[in-house]
């Protein structure tokens, strides 16, 4: 009986080691996960369609300083950041060189349409093409917000809720070519 128990233990150990080797080798061959968009990098060449069926892309926003905010309807930090986004948008919506875009991450059309209506979201919100845009930006969660300069460089960004003061500072940095604080 002892021989059987030792034999079984040895076989289990061999199987576990073999499994570990297979995992290590297969992991090494997987493609790298996308990196988050880094500050001072070119904005990804994204293209999305808004809830009102308008196409918005990096090229259509060229020449403007703009904000891209990734969010969804069920995210508590997204809901907490919404008043700051609204105040910021209201302050800058008439600026000729400004745009703002919400891109939905991990949510469905019905929930987003309900959220946009209930919260009276005034800036364009994109759902179609959003999955690819989240990959292109390398997002890891929500909310995530990026500010892009008129020449298409990501100037500032944050993973987590943004504030109106930070957004104002970042927009100024995008317009003037300064570093983010």
Model-level pTM greater than 0.75? Answer: yes
Domain-embedded: residue 138: yes
pLDDT in tens, the chain (181 residues): 556 777 777 777 676 666 655 555 554 443 333 345 566 688 999 999 999 999 999 999 999 999 999 999 999 999 999 999 999 999 999 999 999 999 999 999 999 999 999 999 999 999 999 999 999 998 988 999 999 999 999 998 899 999 999 999 999 999 998 877 6
* Range(s) of the domain holding residue 17: 1-30
- In sequence order, what DSSP letters do the residues of 44-95 get, joined into one string? P--EEEETTS-EEETTTTTTSEEEEEEE-TT-HHHHHHHHHHHHHHHHHTT-
Residue 3 domain flag = yes
- Both 14 and 82 in a single domain? no
Per the structure, how many domains does the chain have? 2
Say whether both 59 and 17 belong to one domain.
no
Identify whether residues 167 and 98 lie together within a single domain: yes
């Amino acid at each position: 009986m002892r021989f059987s128990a030792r034999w079984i233990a040895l076989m289990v150990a061999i199987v576990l080691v073999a499994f570990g080797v297979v995992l290590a080798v297969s992991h090494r061959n997987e493609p790298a996960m996308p990196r988050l968009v880094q500050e001072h990098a070119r904005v990804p060449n994204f293209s999305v369609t808004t809830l009102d069926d308008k196409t918005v892309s990096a090229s259509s926003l060229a020449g403007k300083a703009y904000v891209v905010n990734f969010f969804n309807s069920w995210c508590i930090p997204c809901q907490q950041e919404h008043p700051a986004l609204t105040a910021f948008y209201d302050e800058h919506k008439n600026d000729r060189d400004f745009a703002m875009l919400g891109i939905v991450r991990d949510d469905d059309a019905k929930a987003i349409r309900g959220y946009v209506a209930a919260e009276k979201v005034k800036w364009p919100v994109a759902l179609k093409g959003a999955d690819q845009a989240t990959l292109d930006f390398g997002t890891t969660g929500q909310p995530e917000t990026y500010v892009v300069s008129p020449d298409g460089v990501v100037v500032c960004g944050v993973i987590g809720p943004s504030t109106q003061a930070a957004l104002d500072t970042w927009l100024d940095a995008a317009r003037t070519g300064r570093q983010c604080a």
